[in-house]
Amino acid sequence: MANSLNTIEINEIMSLLPHRYPFLLIDRVTDHVLNKSISAYKNITINEPCFTGHFPQQPIFPGVLILEAMAQAAGILGFKTMGNNDQLYLYAGIDKARFKYPVVPGDRLDIEIQLIKERRGIWKFSGVAKVGNKDVCVADFMCAMRDL
């Protein structure tokens, strides 16, 4: 499979984000436009350690991890835009978060993030996570870049 210029594979994702298994929640970036938007996905498998004890009879991917995956995608966009990963990219706030449908093993979580604005190291985003054509989570959130 040819790698498009806007696709980011897992090895580059790992060079941008400090997260590692089991909390590296982006499998691939499918498209990105610097200082504007990013699209990525995560395959949800039954092997995810977070499923241990979380609704054992009907595993549901935790909503907080959907929000974290959205922030990680936004972090990749921030690092690619700034060209500097000598900083931490931290959640600064979450607004208007809504969970619309459960996400279960076997689903592919598609994430679309739009940069609303950036000012003095604070980035504001609008994001949606989808499974198929269904929006499963929508949220506006802010991230801040801080020195290590």
Task: For residue range 62-77, list pLDDT tens digits in order.
Answer: 999 999 999 999 999 9
Can you give the pLDDT at residue 2? 45
Does residue 78 fall inside a structural domain?
yes
* Within a domain: 51: no
In the chain the first and final C-alpha atoms are separated, in Å, by 36
Placement of tokens 């609008």 in the chain: 126
Within-domain flag for 2:
no
Q: Which residues of the chain have pLDDT under 70?
A: 1-5, 84-85
Residue 141 sits in a domain of what CATH number? Answer: 3.10.129.10
Domain that holds residue 19: 10-46+58-147
Distances in Å between the alpha carbon of 103 and those of 34, 50, 73, 112, 125?
A: 29, 13, 18, 16, 22
Specify if 5 maps to a domain: no
Catalytic residues: 54
pTM of the predicted model, to two decimals?
0.92
Alpha carbons 49 and 41: distance in angstroms, whole number:
18
To the nearest whole percent, how much of the chain has pLDDT over 70? 95
* Cβ–Cβ under 8 Å, residues 33 and 111: no
**Is residue 135 one of the residues assigned to a domain?**
yes
Q: Which pLDDT score, from 0 to 100, does residue 65 have? A: 95
Number of domains composing the chain: 1
